[in-house]
DNA sequence: ATGACCACCTGCGAGC
DNA sequence: TGCTCGCAGGTGGTCA
């Protein structure tokens, strides 16, 4: 479930179903699922087993589950020690986090399986294409205001749902890039959470073509496209995210409905919902861009 | 130091 | 029926 709304749907599901539960076993069924964890799968298993899962957090398309330290879980009095490590997850193109009863047969692409001390539903990382993965990372203080982030994602910019998102600073950074606006929207070090679907939808709403050079856009135009991205992702989140098929589902395996509300993505040759002109598909960075030839100026 | 490309995977539908 | 091709929500390493 790649883009921000879909990942947020998963984060909420994890917060509801696995936070506060103690992990008794972790099984890595495919080594590629933990390839980002350089110390290897035995180390991943050892660092998670026995810990209680703390808060479920997200930045952009990354999400992580804090691991409560032994002192947190054993002694009730806080001595100022918070979590120092977290299970970092990225869903890639096809990753799913599913909460499933032990009796549920293993999914075809089940990669990592977590079981809990309470004997309740398992957490299953399922990933057809294996572009996603899990790793255990130390938490580091980063940014201003300071956030506690898994070390490998300290370079990921705040997303538009972050209370500390600084739109003015992002507008400046975007306009300083010597590239085109769609590339900038997809650059997770400028603004995170936006992927191919929501970039195209935001550009359509703002009436801009993705090939527009950032340096030639006014501050107001960049603001407008960022605001459009924020709006479209918020609307998608309200509808449970976008899914065209069973690959993009929440922790209970259910799809969202935002695909019905898309205005351009995947609508090649169908009429623009604003002016009726057939939507155009163009190759872009080895993938596709969709736009209205009439209402998105180049 | 930036910006652009391509590899990393599996599965599905279209076309032959 | 079955093959090959193109395509899919993303990210990084590497090259210029």
What 8-state DSSP symbol labels residue A37? -
A259 shares a domain with A203 = yes
Residue A12 lies in a domain: yes
Q: Which of residues 267-296 of A touch strand C (CB under 7 A)?
A: 283, 287-288
- From CA A236, how far away is CA A141, in angstroms rounded? 31
pLDDT digits (tens, 9 = 90+) for A171-210: 999 999 999 999 999 999 999 999 999 999 999 999 999 9
Q: Is the CB of A285 under 7 A from strand B?
A: yes
Q: Which nucleotide is nearest to A189 (CA to C1')?
A: C11
* Assigned domain for A243 exists: yes
* Dihedral sign of CA atoms A27, A37, A59, A189 in order: negative
Chain C bases near protein CB atoms (7 A cut-off)? 7-12
User: Is the minimum distance from the CB of A191 to strand C below 7 Å?
Assistant: no
* Any domain includes A158: no
| Residue A79 clears pLDDT 60, i.e. is over it | no
Based on the fold, state whether residues A183 and A235 are members of the same structural domain.
Answer: yes
* Interacting residues of A174 by C-beta distance below 8 A, sequence separation 6+: A181, A184, A190, A191, A214, A217, A222, A226
Nucleotides of B under 7 A from a protein CB: 2-11
* Co-location of A240 and A267 in the same domain: yes
For residue A266, what pLDDT is reported? Answer: 95
Q: What are phi and psi of A209, to 5 degrees?
A: -85, 140
Query: CA-to-C1' distance for A126 and C9, Å?
Result: 15
CATH number of the domain within which A213 lies: 1.10.8.50
SS3 A288: strand
Give a yes or no: residue A284 inside a domain: yes
- Phi and psi of A86, rounded to 5°? -150, 155
In angstroms, the CA A208 to CA A231 distance is 16
The answer on A180 and A128 residing in a single domain is: no
Strand B: which residues 199-258 of A lie within 7 A (CB)?
A: none
In sequence order, the 6+-apart residues with CB closer than 8 A to the CB of A266 are A244, A259, A290
**Same domain flag for A94 and A191:** no
Answer with the one of A103, A127, A153 that is the final residue of a domain: A153
Using the predicted structure, report yes or no on whether residue A74 has a pLDDT greater than 70: no
Q: How many angstroms is C1' of C5 away from CA of A178? A: 35
pLDDT of res. A228: 98
Query: Is A76's pLDDT higher than 60?
Result: no
Grade residue A246 by pLDDT with cuts at 50, 70 and 90. Answer: confident
Residue A81: the pLDDT is 79
User: For residue range A208-226, what is the model confidence (pLDDT) as tens digits?
Assistant: 999 999 999 999 999 999 9
End-to-end CA distance of chain A: 30
Q: How far apart are CA A255 and CA A251, in angstroms?
A: 10
Q: Nearest protein residue to B4's C1' (by CA)?
A: A285
A79 and A19, same domain (yes or no): yes
CA distance A64 to A90: 9
Q: What is the pLDDT of residue A9?
A: 97
Position A145 pLDDT exceeds 70: yes
Candidates A285, A296, A288; CA nearest to A179 is A285
Q: Is the residue at A296 inside a domain?
A: no
Give, in Å, how far the C1' of C6 lies from the CA of A48: 41
Confidence of residue A286 (pLDDT cuts 50, 70, 90): confident
- Percent of chain A residues topping a pLDDT of 90: 91
Nearest amino-acid residue to C9, taking CA and C1': A2
Q: Are residues A196 and A120 in the same domain?
A: no
Stretch among A74-83, A234-243, A261-270, A289-298 having the lowest mean pLDDT: A74-83
Q: Are residues A80 and A195 in the same domain?
A: no
Omega into A145 within 30° of 0, i.e. cis?
Answer: yes
Region A59-88: what's the mean pLDDT? 81
Residue A226 pLDDT: 98
Structure tokens at A287: 């993938």
Residues A49 and A146 in one domain: yes
pLDDT of residue A269: 94
What's the total number of domains in chain A?
2
CATH number at residue A46: 3.20.190.10
In angstroms, rounded to a whole number, what is the distance separating the alpha carbons of residues A152 and A284?
28
User: How are strands ordered across the β-sheet holding A122-127?
Assistant: A23-28, A110-116, A122-127, A95-100
Same structural domain for residues A268 and A209?
yes
Instruction: Give yes or no: residues A250 and A112 share one domain.
Output: no
Closest nucleotide (C1' vs CA) to A180 is: B3
Among residues A124, A153, A182, the one where a domain terminates is A153
Looking at the predicted structure, is the pLDDT value of residue A77 above 80?
no
pLDDT, residue A119, reads: 98
> What percentage of chain A reaches a pLDDT higher than 70?
96
- Output A17 or A76, whichever has higher pLDDT: A17
Chosen domain end from A153, A177, A205 = A153
User: Are A214 and A144 within 8 A, CB to CB?
Assistant: no
Q: Sorting pLDDT into bands at 50, 70 and 90, what band is A1?
A: low
Over residues A26-48, the mean pLDDT reads 97
- A138 within domain boundaries: yes
Q: Are both A271 and A211 inside the same structural domain?
A: yes
* Residue span of the structural domain in which A143 resides: 4-153
């Amino acid at each position: 479930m790649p883009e921000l709304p879909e990942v947020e749907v998963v984060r909420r599901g994890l917060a509801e179903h696995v936070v506060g539960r103690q992990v008794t076993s972790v099984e890595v069924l495919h080594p590629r699922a933990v390839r980002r964890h350089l110390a290897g799968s035995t180390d991943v298993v050892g660092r998670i087993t026995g810990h209680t899962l703390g808060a479920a957090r997200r930045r952009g398309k990354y999400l992580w589950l804090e691991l409560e330290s032994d002192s947190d879980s054993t002694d009730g009095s806080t001595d100022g020690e918070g979590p120092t490590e977290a299970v970092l997850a990225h869903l890639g193109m096809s990753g799913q986090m599913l909460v499933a009863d032990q009796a549920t047969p293993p999914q075809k692409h089940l990669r990592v399986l977590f079981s809990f001390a309470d004997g309740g539903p398992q957490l299953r990382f399922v990933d057809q294409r294996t572009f996603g993965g899990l790793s255990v990372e130390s938490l580091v203080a980063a940014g201003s205001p300071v956030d506690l982030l898994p070390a490998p994602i300290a370079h990921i910019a705040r997303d538009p749902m972050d209370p500390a998102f600084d739109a003015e600073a992002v507008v400046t950074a975007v306009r300083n890039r010597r590239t085109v606006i769609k590339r900038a929207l997809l650059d997770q070090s400028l603004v995170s959470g936006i992927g191919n679907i929501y970039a195209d939808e935001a550009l359509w709403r703002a009436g801009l073509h993705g090939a527009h050079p950032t340096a030639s856009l006014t501050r107001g135009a960049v603001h407008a496209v960022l605001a459009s991205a924020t709006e479209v992702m918020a609307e998608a989140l309200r509808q449970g995210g976008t899914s065209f098929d069973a690959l993009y589902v929440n922790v209970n395996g259910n799809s969202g409905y935002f695909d019905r509300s898309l205005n351009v993505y995947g609508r090649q040759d169908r009429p623009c919902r604003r002016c009726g002109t057939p939507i155009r598909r163009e190759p872009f960075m080895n993938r596709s861009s969709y736009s209205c030839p009439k209402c998105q100026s180049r």
